[in-house]
Amino acid sequence: MTIIDELGLPGLPEALPRGIVDNHTHTLTTTNYSKLRPADSLELAASVGVTHVVDVGYDVASSRHALALADEFPQVVAAVALHPNDAATIATRDGDEPFEATLAEIESMVPEARAVGETGLDYYRTRDADGKLAQERSFRRHIGWAKEHGKTLVVHDRDAHDDILRVLDDEGAPERVVMHCFSGDADFARACTERGFWLSYPGVVTFGNAEALREAARATPLERVLVETDAPFLTPAPERGKHNAPYLLPHTVRFLADLLDVELAEFCDLVTANTFAAFGGRWGDDA
């Protein structure tokens, strides 16, 4: 019996013909988010062609853990941030002093990280005016850190498309911006790529009710396409509803290659090159 069987996880997909990068996962960062140990998760991912991973922090503890994992595993790089919903919660529940102290702790980790994020705006879970204001304050600070330290900015955008662009335009976007878990339509995709952003497509693009997202993917220049799991969330078809992990990324990769009419090996090479460009260069043993 394999570890997948023991833990009741989805089976291994067919391996990809070329290596590819999961540019956004949380499953390595904390055991609360994964049934697999980091070493096992990375081994399973590598067995199906997912050779590199961006592990994404969302608060102080997970950001520290992401940095520690990047130190331990050469195929991993870390992103550090305070998630917008956490920013809203801390500011409205605990007040300005704890909010500022938390941001200062995140800022202290930025020089060691490959990216700043995920940061941004989330109007799905945070709907009150004070919470939205706290999110924007945090977002602006993260943008500044990314620019100051030459880091990639990883943007969380949920139901906040117009304000995301407003804040980025107002602050001046960093050189490299990744729109994580892209959820806009074709017009928004064009607005983002016209600004030079990369758009990262999750397993949602495989869902039957996601035609608008598929239209966005078709409208995205191939050199701006990235792919992610956002594991343990958003597991792609045919495993939708089950626990997600980096080793399931091939389902989304195959779907997008077919959708965009690109031969699979070529698509893997393209997305890998895009990801290293978006995150400021290669990493791992082959860097």
- On whether 230 is known to bind a ligand per the annotation, the reply is yes
- The pTM score is 0.96
Per-residue pLDDT reduced to its tens digit, 173-199: 999 999 999 999 999 999 999 999 999
- On whether 14 is known to bind a ligand per the annotation, the reply is no
> Where along the chain do its domains lie?
3-7+24-278
Coil, strand or helix at 8: coil
Least confident piece of the model among 5-14, 71-80, 99-108, 112-121:
5-14
Per-residue pLDDT reduced to its tens digit, 224-278: 999 999 999 999 999 999 999 999 999 999 999 999 999 999 999 999 999 999 9
Q: Inform me whether the pLDDT recorded for 29 exceeds 70.
A: no
Q: Inform me whether the pLDDT recorded for 108 exceeds 60.
A: yes
CA angle 139, 143, 148 (to 5 degrees): 145
- The 8-class DSSP code of residue 203 comes to G
Q: Inform me whether the pLDDT recorded for 45 exceeds 70.
A: yes
- On whether 149 is known to bind a ligand per the annotation, the reply is no
- On whether 118 is known to bind a ligand per the annotation, the reply is yes
Task: Please report the DSSP string for 227-248 in residue order.
Answer: E---BTSSPPTTSTTSPP-GGG
CATH for 3-7+24-278?
3.20.20.140
As a whole number, the mean pLDDT across the chain is 95
- On whether 52 is known to bind a ligand per the annotation, the reply is no
Per-residue pLDDT reduced to its tens digit, 133-176: 999 999 999 999 999 999 999 999 999 999 999 999 999 999 99
